[in-house]
Amino acid sequence: MKPSVTDHVKIKRYNHPTGGWGSLKSLIRKAHGEGLLVSGIWSTLMRQNKSDGYMCVSCSWAKPAEPRPFEFCENGAKATLWDQTKRRCGPEFFAAHRVNELLDWPDHDLEKQGRLVEPMRYNEATDKYEPVSWDAAFREIGKELRKLDPRSVVFYTSGRASLEASFMYQLFARIYGSSNLPDSSNMCHESTSVGLPESIGSPVGTVQLEDFAHCDLMFFFGHNTGVTAPRLLHPIEEARQRGIPVITFNPLPERGLERFKNPQSPVEMLSPGPGTKMSSEFFQVRGGGDIAAMTGIAKSLLALDDAAVQNGGRRVLDTGFIAEHTSGFEEFEAYLRRTPWDKIVARSGIARADLERVARIYSEASAVIGNYGMGLTQHRHGTENVHMLCNLLLMRGNVGKPGAGVSPLRGHSNVQGQRTVGISEKPELVPLDKFAAFYQFEPPREKGRDTVETCEGVIDGSVKAFVGLGGNFVRAVPETGLIEEAWRRLRLHVQIATKLNRSHLIPGTVTYLLPCLSRIERDSQAGGEQHVSMEDSTACIHGSFGYRPPAGPDLLSEPRIVAELAKATVGGKSAVPWDEWVGDYSLIRNEIERCYPDHFKDFNKRFLAPGGFHRDIKASKRVWQTPNKKANFKAPTMLETDPDIDVSQSDVLTLITIRSNDQFNTTIYGYRDRLRGINGTRMVLLMNKRDMQRLGVSDGDEIDLQSAAEDGVERRVRGLRVTPYAIPPGNCAGYYPELNPLIPLWHRAEKAHVPAAKSVPVRLVPVSGQASK
């Protein structure tokens, strides 16, 4: 595969705020690049995240009931432009290129070909994708699936498909006999889905958008807000203008959490100043040092409380809350008291005085939100990271009161909702008895495969078929080398997609590429125009109206494709009236309400209201759905978030894989990571200057990176450019997905199985005889 580099590499620190003119310039450039008129696309963007418009296809941040005139951000607008491009990747393209040849193309160039418009079948003899009729495609896929053992078939979902499509998809898989329903969430917030229920009895966060207006302190751990949920910068900016402290922990000095200029405010845009300072305190925690940092804050809080007890002052711990609502505090307290400061400081990389200062600020706040992202979840101890953040919040009763709570910032726009409506490999999370009774079939009861277990099954041959509802599975998962090789042994490989990506280029014996409508487009069915729904990061359900013309006349909607696959595979094996549901999606919403009455009461009536409606999250009312009916303090087992990394080996660095400002997961819009000042290339390795000196490399040197895991598997990425960066010593950083070949499959969060993509042990291998400055 050709490296992701253009001819114009420029690496220079970016000193401007996030948002601002840089953000607008970037948008206009993108609109031209996609063959779109800025004036035309503007009317589309004006409907983004509005109650009578469509939900943005980028991140899952909350959508307000009273939107701003432009309720979109630079990255949301880029996602829309990319989706609504004028380019088409039709049969002529596939006739002109062999699949093997396309394997050499970077991710950007593949998706850049534009929207997929016709169903295609791979022909091994010509090594090309060839057009096929929808009927023939469904017939053959159904026939293939009927021949296979359902337990060897995987039904993956990337977090974009609507609640309606997702509900149907999981029913289809279960009627067929498979509970192999992994989701992109398995690589993302599964540490949350496993960790939060143990701590507070809820798999999702407890805050709503209103809470951001009432909090008096916010923490941010491991989230790159300015890039991955930029509309959240507005509530942060508002909080900062109220004088609320925002305390951030991140190994990289991310621009969006430093400074922000609101592109929607003419006053701010026209003033020459540096924009709002977003974080009042920014700590460059060592990668994987969060448990240590939070332990330090909690330990200092305990010391402040001890002093209060001694002086007869006001208690710092919320002792009433702890006594009434929690369990496990004594063990947690013992853990804090016995953990020595020298270890906390060494592992977090943060001075004791700083952690004590944070504790003081925390002790003075009465309503605190703990926000976090992949910097906490994608570690071997990702689940313990989540527990530790809950511990910190519980110490001062910061769950279940206005302005306070835990706020996992979810990824894909409906990833949380898919889990809500049955996309889960864990049968205990799904109302199987209801499905059995309502739709008259016997669902499989055993646990299905998650993402990592799917990869293991592909490698050992026990997985024989893969159906993907969106996403770019092969590219998003770890262990790229072994996976790509093993993938070719699949009997059946089906991808439902909008754009061509690398996963589509690794065929099995029978391989189909099925193009679908985007959510932004009109979806006309027998019963008229349909809309869909999704759930945001704050467990709020919204409607979404597609309004743009479909990218091609032959495209089918995701619900229709799922229904046709189901009819061809398990037609007549249940009481599901597939055609009726596809004719009128409100019938699917009725069924979702029937299966999940507590969360979706009056679904069809309420989802179109401005601001949508909230699911009933019990933990936000201090009702704890844990086995002991309490919120639980859970002491971590060790300060390290990664037991695999032997930091005593001085040539081993801990690699953090990151997203640029010009990508959405494996979708690479371009090569401008403006906010980090890295332009023209993604093949960089960001390093601390001291490590560069120690390891004998200089700015601009070309190196290879190799996995430091000693398990006999050779993992290497070639041709990275050494780039000095403000990153803690011992850490280095580079882009996902280019560096995924370096992540061992077993290097994943315990229990949750999220690949530990933020702490990958690596070694540099200098490329002899060259230093390409």
Positions touching ligand MGD (CB under 6 A) are 58-59, 75, 111, 158, 160, 184, 187-188, 221-224, 227-228, 249-252, 254, 285, 287-288, 290, 373-375, 378, 409, 411-412, 469-473, 476, 496-499, 501, 516, 518-519, 558, 656-659, 663-667, 736-737, 740, 743, 757-758
> Site size for Mo ion, by CB under 5 A?
2
How far apart are CB 523 and Mo ion at their closest, in Å? 25
257 near Mo ion, rule: CB under 5 A:
no
Measured from the CB atom, is 166 or 339 closer to Mo ion? 166
DSSP designation for 243 = T
Residues 6+ apart with CB under 8 A from 730: 286, 287, 647, 653, 654, 688, 691
Q: Which does 491 bind (CB under 5 to 8 A by kind): ligand MGD, Mo ion, none?
A: none
Residues paired with 594 in a beta bridge: none
222 near Mo ion, rule: CB under 5 A:
no
Measured from the CB atom, is 398 or 759 closer to ligand MGD? 759
How far apart are CB 206 and ligand MGD at their closest, in Å? 18
CB atoms within 10 A of CB 47: 18
Residues paired with 499 in a beta bridge: 115
Site string for Mo ion, 411-430 (x = CB under 5 A): x-------------------
How far apart are CB 572 and ligand MGD at their closest, in Å? 26
Measured from the CB atom, is 223 or 325 closer to ligand MGD? 223
Name the residue whose CB lies closest to Mo ion.
411
Buried-exposed string 442-457: b where 16+ CB fall within 10 A, e elsewhere: ebbeeebbbbbbbbbb
Inter-residue contact 383 to 199 (CB < 8 Å):
no
Please give the angle made by the CA atoms of 416, 422 and 427, to the nearest 5 degrees.
Answer: 120
Residues paired with 475 in a beta bridge: none
Measured from the CB atom, is 322 or 423 closer to ligand MGD? 423
Measured from the CB atom, is 411 or 543 closer to Mo ion? 411
**Which class for 766: exposed (0-12), middle (13-18), buried (19 or more C-beta within 10 A)?**
middle
How far apart are CB 666 and ligand MGD at their closest, in Å? 3
The one-letter amino acid at 544: S
CB atoms within 10 A of CB 216: 17
Report the site for Mo ion in 543-562 (rule: CB under 5 A). Answer: none
Measured from the CB atom, is 411 or 468 closer to Mo ion? 411
Inter-residue contact 633 to 328 (CB < 8 Å):
yes
How far apart are CB 149 and Mo ion at their closest, in Å? 30
How far apart are CB 437 and ligand MGD at their closest, in Å? 30
Measured from the CB atom, is 316 or 565 closer to ligand MGD? 565
Site string for Mo ion, 152-191 (x = CB under 5 A): ------------------------------------x---
Measured from the CB atom, is 252 or 565 closer to ligand MGD? 252
Residues paired with 466 in a beta bridge: 154, 493
Q: What's the rounded Cα separation, in Å, for the pair 420 and 399?
A: 21
Nearest alpha carbon to residue 727 among 649, 650, 653: 653
Nearest alpha carbon to residue 526 among 565, 579, 578, 576: 579
Inter-residue contact 658 to 697 (CB < 8 Å):
no
Site string for Mo ion, 362-401 (x = CB under 5 A): ----------------------------------------
Q: Which does 757 bind (CB under 5 to 8 A by kind): ligand MGD, Mo ion, none?
A: ligand MGD
Maximum distance among all alpha carbons in the chain?
Answer: 83
Q: Footprint of Mo ion on this chain (CB under 5 A)? A: 188, 411
